[in-house]
Structure formats: structure tokens, C-alpha cells
Amino acid sequence: GAVVSQHPSWVICKSGTSVKIECRSLDFQATTMFWYRQFPKQSLMLMATSNEGSKATYEQGVEKDKFLINHASLTLSTLTVTSAHPEDSSFYICSCGSGGYNEQFFGPGTRLTVL
């Protein structure tokens, strides 16, 4: 399957700061990228779907002004957690697809800890 990377793999930040997480598809062009959030011992929850060159579609309950998503190219999407708070601490996972929801390719995840 396709290779997807995320950077950083983990980050610790102070409350009130912003954190940017990168998601890259290394060997194919991803027209669609997805961002998920995973709490300990819980499911992955879809946060938003982004298509290259257009605005992201956010799931209900996800604040688009807090979780900024940019999908500027077919190989890179970024998630910026603005003014992070301790409750934003979580495992963030991206995935890439060639279109639709069939067989997404997932990144290794980024663990965010907000102090």
C-alpha cells in the first residue's frame, strides 16, 4: 500500500500555543486526505475531510477555527491546532485516499500533549 508519513510523531506544548502537524503521502498523489483523532482506548473519530485545493469539510462538533486544515498539494496536508488546551491532548492520525472512502492509507499518528 501507499506510504503516509506524519511529522512530528509526538509534540509537547504549553497551553495557548499553536501546533502544526504535517501529513505527507510519499509515493502517490492524494486527492483526499482525512484527519482523525483517537483518545486512549477509544475509536478513531473523523475530524475533517480535505480535498486538494479546496476548503476542508469538518465533522459536526469540530471547530474549524481551532483545527485549521490546509491541503495545498496532492502530497501534503497540515493540521494546525490553534491556542491548544490540555483537552486537545490526543493522538492525531491522518489518512490519504485517491477518492472516496475505499481503502484509506494511514499515517503513523502524532501524539500531542498540551501542558
Partner 1 sequence: AQSVAQPEDQVNVAEGNPLTVKCTYSVSGNPYLFWYVQYPNRGLQFLLKYITGDNLVKGSYGFEAEFNKSQTSFHLKKPSALVSDSALYFCAVEANKLIFGSGTRLLVRP
Task: Determine if 109 is a binding residue for partner 1 (CB under 8 A).
Answer: yes
Task: Determine if 110 is a binding residue for partner 1 (CB under 8 A).
Answer: no
- What does the buried/exposed string (b/e) look like for 5-34 if buried means 16 or more CB atoms within 10 Å of the residue's CB? ebeeeebebeeeeebebbbbbeebebbbbb
Q: Shortest Cβ distance from residue 6 to partner 1 (Å)?
A: 8
Q: By CB under 8 A, which span of 1-9, 11-19, 63-71, 77-85 interacts with partner 1?
A: 1-9
In angstroms, the CA 23 to CA 110 distance is 10
Task: Determine if 24 is a binding residue for partner 1 (CB under 8 A).
Answer: no
Q: Shortest Cβ distance from residue 110 to partner 1 (Å)?
A: 11
Binding test (CB under 8 A) with partner 1, winner from 9, 17, 29, 83 = 9
- What does the buried/exposed string (b/e) look like for 75-103 if buried means 16 or more CB atoms within 10 Å of the residue's CB? bebbbebeebeeebbbbbbbbbbeeeeee
Binding test (CB under 8 A) with partner 1, winner from 41, 65, 86, 99 = 41
Task: Determine if 58 is a binding residue for partner 1 (CB under 8 A).
Answer: no
